[in-house]
Structure 1
Amino acid sequence: MILKRWPAVFAATVVPSLLVAPVSLASAHTDAARIPAGGTGAATARAVQVKDVAELAATTAGPEHVPLGQDGRPAGASLPAAAPRGTKPVAASTARVTGGPNTGRGVRPLTAPGTINANFNGIDQAGGGGAQPSDINAASGATQIVETVNRRFTVYDKSGGQQCTATLAGFLGATEDVFDPRVQYDNLNDRFSMVVSLTPPSATGAAALYVATSQSGNACGGWWVFRVTFNGSLYPAGTLLDYPQLGQDRDALLLSSNNFNPGYINSAAFSIPKSAAYSGAGFSFPAFAVSFTTQPVTVGGNPIPPTANSYFLSSVNGTGYNLYRMTNSAGPGTTLTLQSTVNSAFNGPPRQVNQPGTATQLDPLDGRIVWSPYQVGNFIWFTHGIAIAGFPGIRYGAIRLSDNVPFVAIAYRSGTSDDFNPSIGVSDAGGNGNNIWLNWAYTDPAAGVATSVTVDGVLPGGGVPNLIGTGAVLVNGASTSTNTRFGDYSSVSVENTCTAVVAQQFFAAGEDWNTRLGRLSFC
Structure 2
Amino acid sequence: MTTRRRARRVVPALLAALALSLGVGLPQATWASAHPRAEGKPLPAPHKVHLSEPKVVNPSGHAEPKVRKNRRNQGPLPTIPREKLAELKAEAAKHPARQRPGRTGGNRAGKLAPPPSQGSFDGLGQPCCLMPPDTHGAVSKGYFVEVTNAGIGVFNKSDGALIKNVSLASFFGYDTQEIFDPRVVYDRTWNRWVVSAEAFPEDQDVQKVFYAVSTSSNPTGSFSVYTFDPPEEPATGDFYDFPQLGLDQDAVIVTANVFRPTELGYDYIGSRAFGMAKADLYNGRFTDFRYFDLGLSGTVAPPVVEDDNSSAFLVAAYPMADRLSLFKATGLGRSDDTVVRQPDVPVTAYTVPPSARQPGTNAVLDTLDARFQNNSTQIGNQLLNVHTVNDGGFPTPKWYQINTDTSTVSAGGEVTESPDSDDFNPSVAGSAVGGTLDNPIGRMFFTWSSTNVTSTPHQVRVKSGGRLGTDAPDVLGGNTHSTASTFYAPLGENQVQRWGDYSAVTINPSATGTCVAGSRAYVVNERQTGTDSWGSRIGRLGFC
TM-score using structure 1 length: 0.86
Gaps of 5+ in 2: 12-32, 492-496, 510-517
In the alignment, structure 1 residue 506 sits paired with structure 2 residue 527: yes
Which residue of 445, 457, 481 maps to 1:448?
A: 457
**Cα displacement string for residues 78-125 of structure 1 (whole angstroms, at most 9, x for unaligned residues):** 522657332113448567xxxxxxxxxxx8x31221241x40111112
Determine the structure 2 residue equivalent to 1:101. none
Percent identity among equivalent residues?
A: 27
Determine the structure 2 residue equivalent to 1:162. 162
Partner-residue secondary structure (3-state), 2:169:
helix
**Cα displacement string for residues 271-305 of structure 1 (whole angstroms, at most 9, x for unaligned residues):** 100111111110211111222210111112xxxx3
CA distance, structure 1, for counterparts of residue 257 and residue 169 of structure 2? 22
In the alignment, structure 1 residue 289 sits paired with structure 2 residue 293: yes
Which piece of structure 1 moves more, 55-64 or 339-348? 55-64
CA distance, structure 1, for counterparts of residue 416 and residue 62 of structure 2? 40
In the alignment, structure 1 residue 517 sits paired with structure 2 residue 530: no
**Cα displacement string for residues 475-520 of structure 1 (whole angstroms, at most 9, x for unaligned residues):** 1123112150001111101123111111111222444221111122
Partner-residue secondary structure (3-state), 1:57:
coil
Change (3 A) 1:420 1:313: same
Change (3 A) 1:335 1:426: same
**Cα displacement string for residues 165-214 of structure 1 (whole angstroms, at most 9, x for unaligned residues):** 11101111112211000000000111110110111111133x54111111
Which residue of 365, 375, 379 maps to 1:362?
A: 365
In the alignment, structure 1 residue 247 sits paired with structure 2 residue 242: no
CA distance, structure 2, for counterparts of residue 520 and residue 449 of structure 1? 23
Partner-residue secondary structure (3-state), 2:171:
helix
Determine the structure 2 residue equivalent to 1:352. 355
Change (3 A) 1:53 1:421: same
Which residue of 46, 52, 70 maps to 1:44?
A: 52
**Corresponding letter in the other structure for 2:288:** S
Determine the structure 2 residue equivalent to 1:111. 113
**Corresponding letter in the other structure for 2:147:** T
**Corresponding letter in the other structure for 2:341:** L
Contact 1:393–1:410, Cα closer than 8 Å, also in 2: yes
Change (3 A) 1:457 1:16: closer
CA distance, structure 1, for counterparts of residue 338 and residue 249 of structure 2? 17
Partner-residue secondary structure (3-state), 1:345:
strand
Which piece of structure 1 moves more, 83-92 or 255-264? 83-92
**Corresponding letter in the other structure for 2:63:** L
Contact 1:111–1:456, Cα closer than 8 Å, also in 2: no
Determine the structure 1 residue equivalent to 2:421. 417
Determine the structure 2 residue equivalent to 1:384. 387
Report matched runs for 1:401-416 at 5 Å. 401-406=404-409, 407-416=411-420
Which residue of 297, 309, 333 maps to 1:307?
A: 309
How far residue 238 of structure 1 moved from its aligned partner, in angstroms, is: 2.4
Contact 1:112–1:456, Cα closer than 8 Å, also in 2: yes
Which residue of 66, 83, 100 maps to 2:75?
A: 66
In the alignment, structure 1 residue 319 sits paired with structure 2 residue 322: yes
Contact 2:2–2:242, Cα closer than 8 Å, also in 1: no
**Corresponding letter in the other structure for 2:442:** N
**Corresponding letter in the other structure for 2:534:** W
CA distance, structure 1, for counterparts of residue 55 and residue 489 of structure 2? 42
**Cα displacement string for residues 126-181 of structure 1 (whole angstroms, at most 9, x for unaligned residues):** 3xx72000110111012111000113110000121011011101111112211000
Change (3 A) 1:425 1:229: same
Which piece of structure 1 moves more, 423-432 or 187-196? 423-432
Partner-residue secondary structure (3-state), 2:374:
coil
RMSD across aligned C-alpha pairs, in angstroms?
Answer: 2.6
Partner-residue secondary structure (3-state), 1:352:
coil
CA distance, structure 1, for counterparts of residue 522 and residue 85 of structure 2? 27
TM-score using structure 2 length: 0.83
In the alignment, structure 1 residue 230 sits paired with structure 2 residue 251: no
Report matched runs for 1:182-193 at 5 Å. 182-193=183-194
In the alignment, structure 1 residue 427 sits paired with structure 2 residue 431: yes
How far residue 448 of structure 1 moved from its aligned partner, in angstroms, is: 1.7
CA distance, structure 2, for counterparts of residue 85 and residue 268 of structure 1? 38
Change (3 A) 1:2 1:258: same
**Corresponding letter in the other structure for 1:492:** V
How far residue 330 of structure 1 moved from its aligned partner, in angstroms, is: 2.7
Determine the structure 2 residue equivalent to 1:331. 334
CA distance, structure 1, for counterparts of residue 212 and residue 82 of structure 2? 29
Contact 2:117–2:539, Cα closer than 8 Å, also in 1: no
